[in-house]
Structure 1
Amino acid sequence: MWKFTIRRILIMIPQIILLSVLIFILAKMMPGDALSGMVDPNTSHETLEKIREDLGWNDPWPVQYANWAKDLIQGDLGQSFFYKMPVTELIGQRLINTFWLSLVTLILIYLISIPLGIISGRYNNTWADQLITGYTYIGFATPLFIFGLVMLWIFGYYFGWFPTGGSVEPGMEPGTFSYVLSKLKHLLLPAFSLALIGTVGTVQYLRNEIIDTKQRDFIITARAKGAPESRVYNRHILRNSLLPIAAFFGYEITGLIGGTIFIEMIYSYPGMGQLFMESIVSRDYSVSTALVLLYGIAAILGALISDIVLSIVDPRIRIK
């Protein structure tokens, strides 16, 4: 177990290095730079070139990457030209909102998908199974940004049950009970919107696992020996079907990365996703490259978590 984990961590290191190289190259290939559209139009070309020279933007790419990577190792993500502040501090202000949005969404995904998957798999080919399967088909076919807009219009504007933007009501004092309630109220609708779409894959996977497990030889043998149906289902079918779901925890984290970007833009939720889109529009490349790198590392860590959990569930996949 420990050998497998250490080996996967060692494999992750060159993946992160390659990711950083690709991100840096793609950022340099984008048109313009952070000064484009952010300086006085009357500024002379010579002055702009001197600024670029002082910032090291005219150095060869390998030199620029080496300097950028050295700063990354030291925890320096650069300076935001749009917000006029360190990128590390800027991301830190938004990270907590995205963290709580992702955490609440993950909890909702499992609270919704596991009961629905169990009902659909245990009572397959019934009206309940057909309703749940229909819900998953609609979820697969509905783009997240369309679903988010519909949820925002219905529950935010039409009924007015939830706020339509922001993460907390203005004027709230941090640390108070009313502040926490306001944060939760602003969080629930974006989290539900993301979770209802995110559950469909888990529901279908759990349903198929239960149906497949019910037809295996050891289940038929247990029933032939006269074991009660409740014991067969709870101790054999359900337990064996739920174990693989745990292995998808890391991939759920990876799937939330793209989802939070859309949801935060739709609900004007001040998180990393909204910051990412704003940095692209404003050509704030130091912010956008740092966020893409963090998203990529999160995806790699999600795959690592899934592999470790899956190796615990099924030791046969461990590398010898």
Structure 2
Amino acid sequence: MWKFIVRRLFITLPQVILLSVLIFLMAQMMPGDALSGLIDPNIDPAAIEQQRENLGLNNPWYVQYTDWITGALQGDLGQSFRYKMPVTELVEQRLINTFWLSVATLLITYIIAIPLGITSGRYNDSWADQMITGYTYIGFATPLFIFALVMLWVFGYQLGWFPTGGSVAPGLEPGSFDYVLSKLQHLLLPAISMALITTVNTVQYLRSEIIDTKQKDFIITARAKGASESRVYNRHILRNSLLPIAAFFGFEITGLIGGTVFVENIFGYPGMGDLFIQSILLRDYSVVTAVVLLFGIASILGALISDIILSLVDPRIRIK
């Protein structure tokens, strides 16, 4: 088991290095630089050029990359030219919000998806299966940003059940019960909005696996031996059908990263997705590269976690 994990880590490390190089090169190819639009055009061009020289913006790309990645490994992601603060501190503030939003979304997703998928797969072609399948078809056809806007309008503005912006009510003392409750209230509506759309993939995947497993020879044999229906489902069908859901976990994380970019902007939730969009609009390159790098690493780690979980559940897939 440990050999498998070590091998996967050795594969992951080159992926992260390649990712960092690609992100830096794409940032370099963007028009302008970190000083574009920040300096009064009436200032002497020689002074502007000197400032670029002092910041290292005229160095070759590989020198700039080396300086950037060396600082990143030491926890220094540079300085935000727009927010006038270290990128590390800025990202840390937003990362906490996005982390809890992602955790809440994952929990709600699996709480909804697993019972629906099991019901739909076990009682396929029933009225319950038709209703669940209809829900998944609607979910597949509905863009996340449209659904989030509808949820915000209905439950935020019309019914007033949830806050319509921010991550916590102002004036509350951090750590107090009211503060935690306010955080939860601000978190729920964005998390539920994402979960109701992202859950449809897991429901359909689990339904298909259960229906396919029910037709396998070992299930027919178990029934022929007189095993009870509950035992057949719990010990054979369900156990084997849940294996691919573990592998799907990494894709859930990747989907959440894309979802937070839309949802956080729609709900005015101050997380990494909102910071990413604002930094692009403000041409804050140091923040953009840092956020994209963290998003990419999260996707790679999600795939790694999926492989490890799947190897724990089913040792047959471990690499020899």
> TM class, shorter-chain normalised?
over 0.9
2:57 aligned with 1:54: no
When normalised by structure 2's length, the TM-score is 0.98
Secondary structure in 1 aligned to 2:184? Answer: helix
Displacement of 1:316: 2.8
- Name the stretch that deviates more: 264-273 or 42-51: 42-51
Indicate whether 1:162 and 2:155 are aligned. no
Aligned to 1:188: 188
Whether the 8 Å CA contact 1:244–1:313 is kept in 2: the answer is: no
Structure-2 separation of matches of 1:91 and 1:226: 59
Shift of 1:142: 1.0
Give the secondary structure class of the aligned counterpart of 1:273.
helix
Query: Separation in 2 of the partners of 1:68 and 1:196?
Result: 39
CA deviation after TM superposition for structure 1 residue 318, in Å = 2.0
Inter-partner Cα distance in structure 2 for 1:86 and 1:297: 20
2: CA distance, partners of 1:235 / 1:11: 34
How does 1:273-292 map onto structure 2 within 5 Å? 273-292=273-292
**Corresponding letter in the other structure for 1:112:** I
Give the length in aligned residue pairs.
Answer: 320
The 5 A counterparts of 1:11-160 are 11-160=11-160
Aligned residue for 1:175? 175
Following TM superposition, by how much is the alpha carbon of 1:154 offset from its aligned partner in structure 2, in angstroms? 0.9
Q: Which range moves more in the overlay, 51-60 or 31-40?
A: 31-40
Q: CA deviation at 1:187?
A: 0.5
1:113-172, CA deviations, whole angstroms, 9 ceiling, x for partnerless residues?
Answer: 000001100110011101111111111111111111111111111111111100111111
Give distance in 1, aligned partners of 2:50 and 2:189: 48
- The CA deviation string for residues 249-282 of structure 1, in whole angstroms up to 9 with x for no partner, is 2321222111111110000000111011111000
Q: 3-state DSSP class of the match of 1:163?
A: coil
Amino acid in the other structure paired with 2:185 = K
The answer for the alignment partner of 2:234 in structure 1 is: 234
Gaps of 5+ in 2: none
Q: Distance in 1 between matches of 2:103 and 2:91?
A: 18
1:211 aligns with 2:208: no
CA displacement 1:159-203 (0-9 Å, x = unmatched)? 111111001111111111111111111100000001011101100
Counterpart AA for 1:47: A
TM-score by length of 1: 0.98
Structure 2 partner of 1:268: 268
* C-alpha distance after superposition, 1:17-71 (max 9, x if no partner): 1111101110000001121122223222222111101101001111111111111
Paired position in structure 1 for 2:224: 224
Range with bigger deviation, 259-268 or 238-247: 238-247
AA at the equivalent of 1:277: I
SS at match of 2:82: coil
**SS at structure 2 position matched to 1:115:** helix
SS at match of 1:106: helix
TM-aligned CA deviation for residue 221 of structure 1: 1.0
Which runs of 5 or more residues in structure 1 are unaligned? none
Partner residue in 2 for 1:293: 293
Q: Distance in 2 between matches of 1:204 and 1:147?
A: 20
Contact 1:166 1:270 in 2 (8 A): yes
Question: What amino acid sits opposite 2:102 in the alignment?
Answer: S
Cα distance in 2 for residues equivalent to 1:316 and 1:235: 18
**Counterpart amino acid of residue 101 in structure 1:** L
User: For the Cα contact (< 8 Å) 1:254–1:302, is it kept in 2?
Assistant: yes
Secondary structure at the aligned position of 2:35 is classed as coil
What does residue 199 of structure 2 align with? Answer: 199
Secondary structure, in 3 states, of the residue corresponding to 1:233?
helix
Distance 1:214 1:16 in 2: 40
Q: For residue 157 of structure 2, what is the amino acid of its counterpart?
A: Y
Matches of 1:23 and 1:36 in 2, distance apart?
A: 20
Residue in 2 aligned with 1:313? 313
Q: CA deviation at 1:2?
A: 1.4
SS at match of 1:94: helix
AA aligned opposite 1:244: P
Provide runs of 4+ in structure 1 moved above 3 Å.
none
User: Structure 2: which amino acid aligns with 1:129?
Assistant: D
SS at match of 2:242: helix
Structure-2 separation of matches of 1:15 and 1:247: 19
Asked if the contact 1:87–1:287 (Cα under 8 Å) also holds between the matched residues in 2, the reply is: yes
The one-letter code of the counterpart of 2:176 is: T
